[in-house]
Amino acid sequence: MGGKLTFSIYAEAKGLLKVMMTFDFVFILFLMHRVLETSDVLCQELQRKNQDILNAMSLVATTKLLFQKMRDDEWEDFMWSVNNFCDTHDIAVPDLTDRYNESTKHSCEQKNHFTVEEYYHFHVFNVVIDKQLMELNTRFTEKSIELLTLCEALNHSDGFKSFSERDIYSLIDKFYPNDFFKDDMKHLKTQLDHYKLDLFEDPRFKDVDYLPKLCRLLVENKEVKDLFRY
């Protein structure tokens, strides 16, 4: 049993090594590294407990731009890196001008007429990047980014560094127009002055250093909710 198990592991390892020593594997490995490297800063920021909303939204925008730049301008540099790695490690590089053949079909059965380079460029490289952009656009729509950015105006950390009456008015006007009457708006400035003083003096808000926790306490705290009506 031991000998058979050892041989099985050896055979599996040999098969995996054979796959790893192919251009296709190296291409995908390099592409995944570039994608993860590009999105890493944003991912790290989104996982922080005391998250800086404004910085996170800025990173969403710059990450999108970096992916778009990678798609539009960096194909040749990317391919040079892949080819250079393959040459250094004696991995065969296919002729990129050859017609691409799907491994499961004979050439006479294939309907495509694109080259090997076109396959890797447009059917792998671009598709992977497009999926990243689509995911970012789905999770962070322009409206949700604007809402989160405006909500940061309520944040009292760092001495109300992000506090902005103009943004709070915009927040109400764009997202909560039916929750505030005209009379409420007349007294909003005074309410905001109370809000700033209350958060400084109330011990329940002393250690609040990020927006989600602040929002939760505002909802849970009946006195604050009665005072500001949200």
Q: Can you tell me the distance from the alpha carbon of 152 to that of 154, in angstroms, rounded to the nearest whole number?
A: 5
- For residues 108 and 78, state if they share a domain: yes
Backbone angles phi, psi at 99, to 5 degrees: -70, 135
Domain limit, last residue, from 84, 105, 140? 140
Please state, in angstroms and rounded to a whole number, the distance separating the CA atoms of residues 51 and 126. 31
Whether 145 maps to a domain, the answer reads no
**Cα radius of gyration rounded to whole Å, the chain:** 27
Say whether pTM exceeds 0.75: no
Are 111 and 183 members of one domain? no
The segments of the chain whose pLDDT lies below 50 read 1, 105, 223-230
Do 84 and 156 sit in the same domain of this protein? Answer: no
Cβ contact 157:208 at 8 Å: yes
Segments forming the whole domain that contains residue 112: 2-140
Q: Is residue 90 part of a domain?
A: yes
The Cα–Cα gap between 19 and 68 comes to: 30
CA proximity to 29, closest of 123, 94, 124: 124
Torsion sign over Cα 192, 198, 201, 204: negative
Q: Which of 141, 186, 144, 149 is nearest to 168 (CA)?
A: 149
Q: Residue 4's pLDDT is what?
A: 56
Domain co-membership, 214 together with 117: no
pLDDT digits (tens, 9 = 90+) for 81-123: 999 999 999 999 999 999 888 765 455 555 667 899 999 999 9
pLDDT given for residue 225 in this prediction: 44
The predicted pLDDT at position 229 comes to 46
174 with 102, same domain: the answer is: no
Residue 29 domain-assigned (yes or no): yes
Into how many domains does the chain fold? Answer: 2
Whole-number average pLDDT of the chain = 78
Cα angle for residues 27, 31, 34 (degrees, 5° grid): 145
CA distances from 46 to 28, 155, 198 (A): 26, 17, 29
**Residue 146 forms part of a structural domain:** no
210, part of any domain: yes
